[in-house]
Chains A and B, each alone.
Chain A
């Protein structure tokens, strides 16, 4: 029931782009994206809701394919501050919120 994220890790140079994918085996009501820096709490980035509504970050975009039960997070022109572990969380109709194993993103100067 836990969503699957890919890649597990990615290393970028400042200014490069990255895509993080999240897929689920069950029907989704929503997809959440969070970023966690080492030793800190996860911080909200974005919610994508079934039906197309999207709420979130103005420098990061995402897509949600309801039919395929997949979401992708797009990080463009990455900055050093983007480094961290990105988690997707999927909400089904039974109201739990399960997170993927995370994608560790490292942005180097």
Chain B
């Protein structure tokens, strides 16, 4: 158990819909990272937040948005869903805001299926 909690674990929805994925980082971690992993593919970096502020942005689509709240949990919002958005979405947390200073702790992921 990494200490990072993601909900829901599984989600099935239809094209055009909107979903919200939630992540609670490890106690004491200030950074949250979001990654997308399509079937048997690598980890695509989406976005990073540090202590409530956006710190780094990757290949995140305009239909996707995220935020980190004062209690440090984070939400990833996916809208106008397409079949290609079906993937496993991982959240990871770390203590610091500068990458490389410590390891990332990954949650178990939220598996999104768009039908």
Binding site for B on A (CB under 8 A): 2, 29-30, 32, 34, 40-44, 47, 49-50, 55, 87, 89, 91, 94-102
Contact = CB atoms under 8 A, between A and B. Distances in A.
Contacts of B44: 99
Given A41-B106, A42-B90, A42-B106, A95 B99 contact: yes
A61 B102 CA distance: 17
Contact of B43 (A43, A50, A99): A99
Given A96-B56, A96-B58, A101-B42, A41 B90 contact: yes
Nearest to A46: B103
B41 A101 contact: yes
From DSSP, what is the main secondary structure of chain B's interface residues? loop
17 contacts: A2-B42, A29-B99, A29-B100, A30-B99, A32-B104, A41-B106, A41-B109, A42-B104, A47-B102, A49-B100, A87-B43, A94-B56, A96-B58, A97-B33, A99-B35, A99-B42, A99-B43
B35 to A, nearest CB: 8
Given A32-B103, A44-B105, A96 B42 contact: no
Given A95-B48, A95-B56, A97-B33, A41 B108 contact: yes
Contacts of B2: 41
Contacts of A44: 103-105
**Which of A40, A42, A97, A100: most chain B CB closer than 10 A?**
A97
Contacts of B107: 41
The number of chain B residues touching the other chain, given as a range, is: 20 to 34
Give 7 nearest A-B pairs by CB, closest first.
A30-B100, A91-B99, A44-B103, A41-B106, A96-B56, A99-B43, A101-B42
Contacts of A41: 2, 90, 106-109
